[in-house]
Structure 1
Amino acid sequence: MHFTAETSSNGVVERDFTVGEVTGVLWSPASAPEHTPLVLMGHGGGQDKKSPGVLARARPLVTTLGFSVAAIDLPGHGDRPPTAADYYHWSDLQQARAVGESIGPVVVRYSAELAERAVPEWQMALDALQELPEIGTAHPVGYSGAMLSTAIGVRLMAVDPRITAGVFRCFFSSESLLEAAGRVTAPIQLLLQWHDTDIDRQDGLALFDAFASKEKTLHANAGGHHQVPEFEADSTARFFARHLGQAGT
């Protein structure tokens, strides 16, 4: 892991880093003790590691709980140049929208292909993060995903036992995603917008039902795709506080 930039503001230290070709950012409390809990923060499609939604979810975890939070750019996003495969899927997505077809089948294909690249990258980043003295391996790890990063995070949790709690937003249902959810036994929390016109609520309910977790919670809120209540960021923080502890404990 190589740190390429560092800034500090309002008690939060922000450090940009690279691991191989992966670009990421690590937020930590300015006065963090050693071995803080860590949350991996995924971004949505077309976004990046420092998108407003990522920052809104990450800040309460750092300032209130004393956690460290890491985010990486997915392949073809942020500071990472797209590949021919990325352009191919984006073209299919634009074509589906142009003719008024559901984008679900295209997104399902793209997310599955992207996960094949992103899951090993997340594991490589986690290996490097746990070598840092302020993180280490003494505390468990959480994952928070939004939309596209839900499809990646579910698959990541299915293969990496270091991640012991996850918060997701509902996503298009597919056989491979539901199969991966069936291998997740850690506590999870799933957010669902009841009047989402982009993703059918039945997809979200199917994903929730597929998780093998003994403890799983569904938060269903009124409103459309982009109308997730702001208080859900605090709810996410409370969820991780219960399952990851707090810094120094």
Structure 2
Amino acid sequence: MRFTAETSADGVIIERDFTLGEIPGVLWTPASETGRTPLILMGHGGGQDKKTPAQLARAREFVTRGFAVAAIDAPGHGDRPRSAEDEQARADLRHAWQTGAPIGEISSRYGASLALRAVPEWQATLDALQELPEIGTDGPVGYGGGITLGTAIGVPLTAADSRITAALFGGGFVVHGALVEAARRVTVPVRYLLQWDDEHVDRQSALAFFDAFGSKEKTMHANSGGHGDVPAFEVASSIRFFRRHFGLES
């Protein structure tokens, strides 16, 4: 891991850009922390990147409550080059948006392909982050993803990596079989966001996906509204979820 830039926001948050091989990422940490800091791996949505305004806002909320947050660009997103598959998937999605055709099947198929590439990258990133003295190998790790691509990558990642001990997912796409199988292998506490009127997902499919998680403790937060209408108060609720399961004082 090579840090390439460092900035400070109001003396409260340290933001450090890094590269790990060909993977570009960013690590946000509290400026005042001197000991080990619990870590949140934060996935981004489809067509977005590690530093979208919404991503930055969520990271700031977490860091000001004592967490470190790391994000990387998914393959074909942000600062990463796009393969022929990436370009075709983007073209298919644009066409669906323009014509009003369903995007769920396209999004799910592409998300499954990206997950195959992204899960090993996230695990390598976590390996490198845990070598940092402010993170270490003995602190808690959570995954907090978006409700589309962030979940398509985060579910198989959480199923594959026992270091992740609590996770936030969402139901914003058509769920495919491989993702359901991965969900059955997830046994850590799960918090699941669902936009009840999401125009891009079949509600029953999202409910079945929630049911598939193998976790003894799993909670669904369903809110009225469409795909992009997740209420701002869900961020604070997510922070409380991770603090509780990390054994941190509220």
TM-score (normalizing by structure 2)? 0.95
Match of 2:54 in 1: 53
Larger mean CA deviation between 149-158 and 80-89 belongs to 80-89
Match of 2:37 in 1: 36
C-alpha separation between the residues in 1 aligned to 2:54 and 2:208? 25
Match of 1:87 in 2: 87
Residue identity in the other structure for 1:226: G
Match of 2:225 in 1: 223
Structure having greater relative contact order (Cα 8 Å, sep ≥ 6)? 1
Match of 1:103 in 2: 103
Larger mean CA deviation between 89-98 and 176-185 belongs to 89-98
Give the ranges of 4+ consecutive aligned residues of structure 1 lying more than 4 Å apart after TM superposition.
none
Counterparts of 1:51-200 in structure 2, within 5 Å, are 51-64=52-65, 66-146=66-146, 147-171=148-172, 172-200=174-202
Where structure 1 has 5 or more consecutive residues not aligned to the other structure, the ranges are none
C-alpha separation between the residues in 1 aligned to 2:78 and 2:140? 28
- Summarize deviations over 1:85-133 as a string: whole Å, max 9, x none: 1012122223333443211111111001000110000001000000000
Shift of 1:134: 0.2
Where structure 2 has 5 or more consecutive residues not aligned to the other structure, the ranges are none
C-alpha separation between the residues in 1 aligned to 2:46 and 2:184? 24
Aligned length: 246
- Summarize deviations over 1:129-163 as a string: whole Å, max 9, x none: 00000000111200001011101000100110000
Larger mean CA deviation between 225-234 and 86-95 belongs to 86-95
C-alpha separation between the residues in 2 aligned to 1:26 and 1:43? 14
Shift of 1:173: 1.1
C-alpha separation between the residues in 2 aligned to 1:30 and 1:246? 19
Does the Cα contact within 8 Å between 1:35 and 1:137 map onto a contact in 2? Answer: no
Alpha-carbon RMSD across the aligned residues, in angstroms, is 1.3
Identity value in percent? 62
